Amino acid sequence: MSSDKLDKLKRRLSEINALGAAMGIMGWDQQTYMPPGGARARAQHLGILSGMAHELAVSDETRRLVEEAVAAVAPGTDDAAMVRLVKRDLDLATKLPTKLVEEKAKLTAEGHQVWVQARKDNDFKKFQPIFARLVEIAREEAEHYGYKEHIYDALLDLYEEGATAADCRAMYEAIKEGTVPLVKAIAEKPPIDDSPLRGQWDEARQRQLTETLVQAIGFDFTRGRQDKTHHPFCTGWSVDDIRITTRYLDYLPSAIFGSLHEAGHGLYEQGSPKEWDLTPLAGGASMAFHESQSRTWENIVGRSKAFWTKFLPEVHALFPETASISLDQWYRMVNKVQPSLIRVEADEVTYNLHTLVRFEIECDLLTGALAVKDVPEAWNAKYREYLGIEPPNDSDGCLQDVHWSSGLIGYFPTYSMGNMLSYQIWACLQRDLGDTDALMARGDFAPILGWLQDKIYSKGRKYPPKELVVQVTGKPLKADDYVKGLAQKYSEIYGL
């Protein structure tokens, strides 16, 4: 196509991107620094901007530019990949009424502050009215998008292109088959005592430690920053402006692994080619790919003995009260397996049971099999069934995640997809790099980051996720490497 027409399309996309960036900055600020009293005004601003961005995206002019591009762009080029993404995004956006988009943006801005207060007060009923409307909106969105088999498919596809509820059910069955025996075997062993990691930890020193760790693995603080929030997340509006967050609790590893997790997302975003910045090609291929990277840096790298061979002395220096903890003890403590209430604090082996609970509840909410008012009871029942424990309150139960207040229904299974994918990718990385433990033990993460940059980060959103999985690993997403990796690691830790 003529460069003039392509330039016009890119200019239109840059306008839409700028509105998205403005909303992103407002969203980041809302979860980090905004005073609670600003929620009403922030909701109004986000509603207006969201409507403006939607109208611009679905306008006749935008559609005309995209149609011209689809017909004329050269196959296999970066421009062709960009046009494919724009067409997909446009096809989805045009199915939603602007009024619905505006209402959701306003409601989620209000809902976040309501959720924060409801969680603080341990009162699901405060959040219930907004959540009920968000579920209704999710149903309306799914019907507008359309689906062949299950209503959940329409929403899951937004985060993981081509994935279905049937895929999720098959995934969870494969995970359960491979890990339930491991959980049972571990349960028969003496529990690991991690009480020395619990207590009051100086927040400034936690911040210093976490920033040291994420900078060591490659997060560029000249193009990003870390801040404190209620629920850790990563966001950004340019490859040169990526924001990660963490939280400081009475469990020292919480901030450590929360930061490493979000830094994994940040590394992926910072790794997009500069020439794709502010275009649809920048960013991660999908939520599962994104989660594979956060889990790689949090769990495969961050919970390895080799990693702490290098960095445990840093912990001892900043927190002298931990000086008596040996490397072997620390390694066992941070890899303790025990059914727990909080998803983001869960161990690797039981983590997927947490997302399974949310997946099943979301499916039932969308089909009408479960009423919003009954979510706490259903949540507690599933935790008793799957994890053998029951939340003592809503704050540690159905109010623990920020996602529903943000209208993110259909998202949770991508966490488990990412868990599987992290080990599938790591198996290929180890094959190519050799002794990764030796690299990590001396703090040399450049080869690991470089491999991931070459194979994944530099591809941005150019390829559909299912295609990229095969490109990187040589096979579709499967549970094999994940199950094998967990069995090998935790058999050694627990002497199975």
Q: How many CB atoms lie within 10 A of CB 453?
A: 18
DSSP state of 392: S
DSSP string, 153-212: HHHHHHHSTT--HHHHHHHHHHHHHHHHHHHHHHHTSPPP--GGGBS---HHHHHHHHHH
DSSP string, 75-101: TTSHHHHHHHHHHHHHHHHTTS-HHHH
The answer to whether the Cα torsion of 422, 366, 386, 383 is positive or negative is positive
**How far apart are the C-alpha atoms of 368 and 375, rounded to whole Å?**
12
Tell me the CB-side half-sphere exposure of residue 197, using CA atoms within 13 A: 23
Contacts of 467 (CB under 8 A, 6+ apart): none
Q: Report the DSSP beta bridge partners of residue 322.
A: none
- Does the active-site annotation cover 345? no
One-letter amino acid for residue 268 of the chain: Y
Contacts of 21 (CB under 8 A, 6+ apart): 237, 238
**How far apart are the C-alpha atoms of 417 and 318, rounded to whole Å?**
36
- Longest CA–CA span in the chain (Å) reads 69
One-letter amino acid for residue 353 of the chain: L
CA distances from 493 to 119, 179, 254, 329, 353 (A): 35, 15, 20, 10, 21
DSSP, collapsed to helix, strand or coil, labels residue 334 as helix
**How far apart are the C-alpha atoms of 72 and 45, rounded to whole Å?**
38
Cβ-contact 483, 175 below 8 angstroms: yes
CA-closest candidate to residue 475, choices 488, 484, 483, 466: 466
Cβ-contact 60, 10 below 8 angstroms: no
CA distances from 347 to 115, 334, 419 (A): 25, 9, 12
Tell me the CB-side half-sphere exposure of residue 491, using CA atoms within 13 A: 10
The residue from 103, 262, 348, 360 that is catalytic is 262
**How far apart are the C-alpha atoms of 105 and 161, rounded to whole Å?**
22
Residues belonging to the active site:
262
